[in-house]
Amino acid sequence: MDLVSMTETARALVAPGKGILAADESTPTMAKRLGGIGLESTEQRRREYREILFTTMGIGEFISGVILFDETIRQHAADGTAFVEVLREHGVIPGIKVDKGTTPLAGFPGEVVTEGLDGLRGRLAEYVSVGAQFAKWRAVISIGDGRPTAPALEANAHALARYAALSQEAGLVPIVEPEVLMDGTHSLERCAEVTAATLRSVYEQLTRHRVVLEASLLKPNMVLSGADSPVQASLGEVADATITVLRETVPAAVPGIVFLSGGQSEQDATARLDAMNRRGPQPWELSFSFGRALQAPVLRAWVGDEANRDAAQAAFLHRAAMSGAARIGSYEPEMEAPSASRL
C-alpha cells in the first residue's frame, strides 16, 4: 500500500459511528479469558470463539477493523473461509498485532519494554501477503513509586517509532499503543502527568523516525484515577482530563485516536468515550479499539456452549452498537436496558 492508500485506511478505521475490535489476545491472555469462564484454552476453542465474533451479522455497521493475533490471521471459519475473508465480506478491515509482548527492562525494576523488532520486516511482509492492512504494537507504562522513569519512557517510545516506520515501509497503517496502566492508587492528576509525558516522548520519537502521522493512529489509555485510588474521578472529569492531555500532546496530523478499554467496565468505557465526543469537534476523530469492553459480555453469554451462539452474537452486536453510538456522542445509558438489547 502506498501512502495515499494507508491514509485512506487510517481514516476508514475511524469512520463515523465505527471503531475497532481488538481480538488480538495472545495465547496466554486467551487462556486467562477462557479460564475466566471455566474453559481450557485449546486452538480449536480459540478458533470457535473468534468465529462467533467474526460471523456476527451486522457488525460491519459498527466495526471498521479487527486486530488479529498471529494464530488467528491464519485460521478459517468452519465452512473453510479464511477469517480475513470473513471480515472482508462484512466490510471490516483486518489488522495484526505484531509485538511479542513485554520483558523486564534491565536496570529498572518494575518497568518493562516491548520486544519484537528483530525480524519484524520479514514478519510484516508475510502479514501483508495474508491480507493485513494495519498493525498494532503495545507498549506498557506503569505508575508507581518512582515510576515511570525517563529511560523506560524513551525505550518504549523508541521501539514504537521503529515499529511504526517499518509498518509504513511495508504498507501497513501503524496503530501506536502506549498504554499507561490503571493499576495503582495514583490520582487522576498523576495519570494525566504520566500520560502526557508518555505521549510527548512517543511523538518526539515518531517524528525523528520519519513516521507519516497522517497514515497512523494512536491507541492510548483514557486518563483515569488509579484503580485502587480511594478517590475516583467523575465521568466529566475523566473526559475533560483526557481531552486536555491529548490536545497538548497529539499532533493534529494524526487522523484518529482509538482508546483501549484497559480493564474499565464496558459501560464505563462506553460512557467516557461518549462524554468526550459530546465535547464537540477535536483535531482528530475519537473512537475505540476495545478488547475487554467489547468481548467480556460475549464470553459470559457463550461459556463455550454452541447452544449459546446466538446469545453471544447478540451480546457482541449490542456492545458494538453501544460503542458505535459513543463514537458519535449519541450513547444513553438507557440504551443498555435488556429490552433495548433484544434483537
Write out the catalytic residue numbers: 177, 219
Taking CB under 6 A as the binding criterion, the range among 68-76, 151-159, 192-200, 254-262 that sits at the site for ligand 13P is 254-262
Q: Which of 33, 46, 138, 158 binds ligand 13P (CB under 6 A)?
A: 138
Q: Which of 152, 182, 199, 260 binds ligand 13P (CB under 6 A)?
A: 260
Taking CB under 6 A as the binding criterion, the range among 50-58, 70-78, 247-255, 287-295 that sits at the site for ligand 13P is 287-295
**Residue 342 beta carbon to ligand 13P: minimum distance, rounded to whole angstroms:** 26
Q: Rounded to whole angstroms, how far apart are CA atoms 82 and 75?
A: 6
Contact, 158 vs 119, CB < 8 A? no
Map the footprint of ligand 13P across residues 150-179, applying CB under 6 A: 177
Q: Is 123 in the site for ligand 13P (CB under 6 A)?
A: no
- Give residue 89's region: left, alpha or beta (phi > 0; psi -120 to 50): alpha
Q: Rounded to whole angstroms, how far apart are CA atoms 120 and 98?
A: 8
Could you count the other beta carbons within 10 Å of the beta carbon of residue 36?
Answer: 11
Of 269, 279, 281, 220, residue with least CA distance to 249: 220
User: Looking at beta carbons only, is 140 or 188 nearer to ligand 13P?
Assistant: 140
What is each CA distance from 177 to 69, 145, 163, in whole angstroms?
A: 15, 23, 11
User: Looking at beta carbons only, is 25 or 285 nearer to ligand 13P?
Assistant: 25
Q: Is 69 in the site for ligand 13P (CB under 6 A)?
A: no
Nearest position to ligand 13P, beta carbon: 291
Q: Is 262 in the site for ligand 13P (CB under 6 A)?
A: yes
Q: Which of 220, 255, 291, 297 binds ligand 13P (CB under 6 A)?
A: 291
What mask of x and - would describe binding to ligand 13P in positions 85 to 114, judged by CB under 6 A?
------------------------------
Q: Is 292 in the site for ligand 13P (CB under 6 A)?
A: yes
User: Looking at beta carbons only, is 7 or 114 nearer to ligand 13P?
Assistant: 114
Taking CB under 6 A as the binding criterion, the range among 113-121, 143-151, 257-265, 314-322 that sits at the site for ligand 13P is 257-265
User: Looking at beta carbons only, is 32 or 247 nearer to ligand 13P?
Assistant: 32
Q: Which of 290, 302, 316, 331 binds ligand 13P (CB under 6 A)?
A: 290
- Amino acid residing at 22: A
Contact, 266 vs 315, CB < 8 A? no
Residue 186 belongs to what H/E stretch? none
User: Looking at beta carbons only, is 17 or 263 nearer to ligand 13P?
Assistant: 263
Cell match 497514515: residue? 215
DSSP E strands: which ranges in 249-328? 256-259, 285-290
Q: Rounded to whole angstroms, how far apart are CA atoms 310 and 282?
A: 38
**DSSP single-letter state for residue 16:** T
User: Looking at beta carbons only, is 184 or 262 nearer to ligand 13P?
Assistant: 262
Residue 88 in 3-state DSSP? helix
Q: State phi, psi for 204 to the nearest 5 degrees.
A: -65, -45
Q: Is 261 in the site for ligand 13P (CB under 6 A)?
A: yes
Of 178, 273, 150, 257, residue with least CA distance to 213: 257
- Amino acid residing at 250: V
Cell numbers for 117, please give them. 523488532
Map the footprint of ligand 13P across residues 212-251, applying CB under 6 A: none
**Residue 293 beta carbon to ligand 13P: minimum distance, rounded to whole angstroms:** 6
Q: Which of 6, 10, 21, 22 binds ligand 13P (CB under 6 A)?
A: 22
DSSP string for residues in 298-320: HHHHHTT-GGGHHHHHHHHHHHH
**Residues in touch with ligand 13P (CB under 6 A):** 22, 24, 138, 177, 260-262, 290-293
